[in-house]
Amino acid sequence: MTFAAVSLVVLLLPSLLGLAVSWKIDRDGHPSGWAGWATKRKPGTFPARLPLILVNQAILAVSAALGLYAIAGRFPLGMPSLPLLALHFGMLVLVDDIVFYWVHRTLHTNKTLYRLIHKKHHEAFAPVPAEYLYVHPLEWMIGSAGPVAGVALVLGIWGEMSAWTFWLWGAFRTLHELDIHSGIRSSWARAIPLYGVMEHHDRHHAKPTLGNYASTLTLWDKVFQTEIPPAEPRSPA
């Protein structure tokens, strides 16, 4: 399989699995003791949101296929050294996450953008995994700025990036989005400093006007003083 084909599988397969998990959680709820939502979810809402989720999944598939095919020659299939893999992976996470923070924060602080675009996502105030894609298509396209900036920076400095680094980061990014929208209580992930766990993002969904705009790293909410303390009273917006 080509780089672009494998990349599509890596990017899309977790989301497809997330659809199945989301359907079950929406219908049956979480197993006993697993639920970590800050607010109560209304069962049976997922099917009505599925068409928009599938539209955004299709946008991802088409745009990723075209973009990755165009630059496939910059992603050699050989395994990188561990230090280089870690460096490139870290740069991708940092650049993507800081861009996401400011885009996300702007979508909240600009009332027009929130009303016209981002409010759609917050209809899912107690989300299930696949609802990370329950967004206005314009937001989904704007959200690609972070990944594009991260990849462009690495390629601009080194000229190439191992396909394995890209695949690892792409899978991690999708799985993290599914996790923080899952409503499933975090366990071992809480021990990782500055890591954005489900509870951090769920507080944002429960009370979006207060903060928690970061995704992978809570560092940005701490630095820019937009973190919602765990003890903050929470209710649907």
pLDDT of residue 232 exceeding 80, the answer is: no
Length of the chain: 237
Q: What is the pLDDT of residues 167-216, one digit of tens each?
A: 999 999 999 999 999 888 888 888 888 899 999 998 999 888 889 999 99
Neighbours of 211 (CB within 10 A): 19
Q: What is the pLDDT of residues 62-95, one digit of tens each?
A: 888 888 888 889 999 999 999 999 999 999 999 9
Q: pTM score, two decimals?
A: 0.90
> Residues near 216 by Cβ (< 8 Å), separated by ≥ 6?
93, 96, 97, 100, 173, 176, 195, 196
Enumerate helices (H) and strands (E) in the chain, giving the number of each.
9, 0
Q: What is the pLDDT of residues 44-63, one digit of tens each?
A: 899 999 999 999 999 888 88
Taking every pair of C-alpha atoms in the chain, what is the biggest distance, in angstroms? 51
How far is residue 130's CA from residue 219's CA, in Å, rounded to a whole number? 25
Q: What is the pLDDT of residues 117-175, one digit of tens each?
A: 999 999 888 899 999 999 999 998 888 899 999 999 999 999 999 999 999 999 999 99
Beta bridge partners of 41: none
